[in-house]
Each structure stands twice: as structure tokens, then as C-alpha cells.
Amino acid sequence: MSRRALLFLIAIIICCFQQCKSQFSDDACSTGVVITEENGLSGTISTPNYPDDYDNNLNCTWIIQAPANKLVEVQIQDFLLESCDFKVYDFLDIYDGETLYSGAPFCGDQLPLDFESSSSQVRFFFSSDFSEIARGFQIKWTFTDKLLSDVACSSGVIIPKDNRSSGIISSPNYPDNYYNNLNCNWTIQAPEDKVIAVRFVYFMLEDCSSTIYDYLQINDGEELDGQRLFCESEENNAKNFVSSTNQLRLRFVSDSSVTAKGFNLTWQFKDVACISGVIIPKDNRSSGIISSPNYPDNYYNNLNCNWTIQAPEDNVQNRN
Ligand SMILES: [Ca+2]
Ligand SMILES: [Ca+2]
């Protein structure tokens, strides 16, 4: 190798070394270190000079930005800042998204607990004051897969979000097979004077003739006896029904193996089918109409409707 080529090679090596070093150096830490999947799926961050003592007057930021569909797992491998028994001098703040992690600021030997973020970004802010230094910290970060249930259905969704009076709920990924390990929750909330009609357009879960693995559970209001459990077996096919209250809570659960196409149902707010013992008229009207619930559509199963038509005492009811 010529002398010129050798010098060139040395120059490249020095350049690379400086670039690698600068990635997490003091300078970078003060202007903010951003870590993405280009840095790998896991790694560590540490205070400048670690495991030797950090310097005074530092303000360091690290941003761990997970790719879509991943979260950040945080493990505190080592943590020792200036003692803060009486006052906080040097400290670490941790943000999960925009939320300050509970217990922050962390100082002295009061290390944070390991955690998995609920957002795709975790931010660390470390500050040291003008005197007294310590070893600092080393923190391991790992990008972890979001559970499919986090992606597929956000728990606790309340339906409808607007003024709609009907809509559709289907299993995640419908009409393709739903995923394993789901735990989806929806609440359908109707106005107080309405009930909810549920019609199954399609229903096919894992076979449950011997054991129930996957199921759709529907709770009618707060009443336990209003609970319906649907899985796929001949006796337990999903049947259309009308709620007895103005709220339905649905939970769809799948276990760790075997999936199916799932379900697709429509919901629609309906006027209360019939309130037993209702007295007609409610106002001063002298005529009106009574019809079977849901008329002109089919009335529902399991009805027991009672109406009383009450005329003023000096009138009689005209039945013709
Ligand atoms: Ca200090
Ligand atoms: Ca299953």
C-alpha cells in the first residue's frame, strides 16, 4: 500500500471514529440525541463519561422514537446521581409521550422503575448543577411490538361518537380472520328514552362445542342477568335481540390459537319497545295510535306489553 493510500485510510478511520463518538458525546447530549430504529431495536443511553462521573452544568436530552406499531421498553441498569436527601440538584425527568413519568424527577439513588411506554416516544432529560457529581446512569431501551389488541381495538370505545343512531361493529380485521389474543371492548350508549336493536349480519367464531375459547360477551346495562355470551356452536348461535336498557357493553375475546372470520353486527337505536303499564294519553290528546313495537317491521321476541287508555271521566272510549 502506498504511503498516500495509508494516510487516506487512517484519515477515514479517524473520521469514522469521531462520527461514532460524536453520536452520543457530550455535545450531542446537550443538543439532544434522537434514537430511532436506525440505531437498532435496542441499545443503551448513559450520562456523559459513564461509568465515570458526569460533568457539572449538563442539560442532556435523549428522545427514543419507536417506529409505528412499537412501544419502548425501559430498563434502568444503573442509576446514581448527586444525593438529594434535602434538595434536588442533579435529576432525571422521563416523559412517556407528553406525560411526565410518575415519581419524576429522579435523583440520588432513587431510581425509576422499569416500564413499557404507552406511547411511541420516551424522552429523557438529565440536568446537573454547578457542583457535586456522581456516576450517572445507564438505561437500556428496547422497541417492543404493540400487542395486536392495542392496534386492533382500543378498549373502552364508546359508540356512537357523534349523533348517529345506527352503526356497525365488527371483529378486528373482518371480513378476514380476527387475530389471536384480542380483548376488545365497546360500549353502545343510547339516549335515555331509547333501546338498542342488535342484528348479526355475520357470526363465526372458533368452534366452542366442547370448550369456549373465543367469545363475544354482551352485557345489557348493569344487570348481570342481562349478560349474553356468544360463541360458535349450534345451540349458541348469535341471535338478534333488543336491549332492555339504553346501554350495551360488548367484549370480544380470542385466545392464543385458532381464529375465524369473526362477526359483523349492526346496532340501531329504537324507541323503547313498550313500557309496561303505560297510561295513554300522556297529554291532552283525545286520539292516538298504538302499534306493536317496531311496527311496520317485525315485533321483537319476548314482549309483554301493557297499555292503559285512560279517558276523562265524562267520556267513554270509542272502540269503533
Ligand atoms: Ca450536582
Ligand atoms: Ca381462538
Output the CA 161–ligand 2 centroid distance in Å. 30
CA 253 to CA 230: how far, in whole Å? 11
Output the CA 192–ligand 1 centroid distance in Å. 60
Output the CA 215–ligand 1 centroid distance in Å. 57
Output the CA 213–ligand 2 centroid distance in Å. 5
User: Per residue in 9-54, pLDDT tens?
Assistant: 444 444 444 333 333 444 557 788 999 999 999 999 999 999 999 9
User: Per residue in 207-259, pLDDT tens?
Assistant: 888 899 999 988 887 665 567 778 876 655 677 888 888 899 899 999 989 99
pLDDT of residue 148: 56
CA 111 to CA 125: how far, in whole Å? 14
Output the CA 128–ligand 1 centroid distance in Å. 5
Domains of the chain: 21-146 (2.60.120.290), 149-271 (2.60.120.290), 274-320 (no CATH)
CA 266 to CA 71: how far, in whole Å? 33
Output the CA 214–ligand 2 centroid distance in Å. 5
CA 154 to CA 34: how far, in whole Å? 29
Output the CA 30–ligand 1 centroid distance in Å. 16
pLDDT of residue 229: 79
pLDDT of residue 150: 54
pLDDT of residue 83: 95
Comparing CA positions, the residue from 196, 203, 222, 218 lying closest to residue 300 is 196
Contact yes or no for 127/144 (Cβ under 8 A): no
Ligand nearest to the CA of residue 133, numbered in listed order? 1
Kindly report the pTM of this predicted structure. 0.45
Mean pLDDT confidence for 187-192: 88
Residue partners of 132: CB distance under 8 A and separation at least 6: 82, 83, 89, 90
Output the CA 179–ligand 2 centroid distance in Å. 8
- Among the residue ranges 134-138, 160-164, 306-310, the one predicted with the least confidence is 160-164
142 band by pLDDT with thresholds 50, 70 and 90: very high
Q: Is 171 exposed, middle or buried (0-12, 13-18, 19+ CB in 10 A)?
A: buried
56 band by pLDDT with thresholds 50, 70 and 90: very high
Which residue spans within the chain are E strands per DSSP?
A: 33-35, 42-46, 59-65, 70-80, 91-96, 99-100, 115-116, 121-127, 136-145, 157-159, 166-170, 183-189, 194-204, 215-220, 227-230, 241-242, 247-253, 262-271, 278-280, 307-309
| Number of Cβ within a 10 Å radius of residue 221 | 13
User: Per residue in 74-130, pLDDT tens?
Assistant: 999 999 999 998 999 999 999 988 888 878 899 999 888 888 787 889 999 999 999
pLDDT of residue 174: 83
Output the CA 259–ligand 2 centroid distance in Å. 5
Who has greater pLDDT, 191 or 229? 191
pLDDT of residue 259: 93
Who has greater pLDDT, 124 or 150? 124
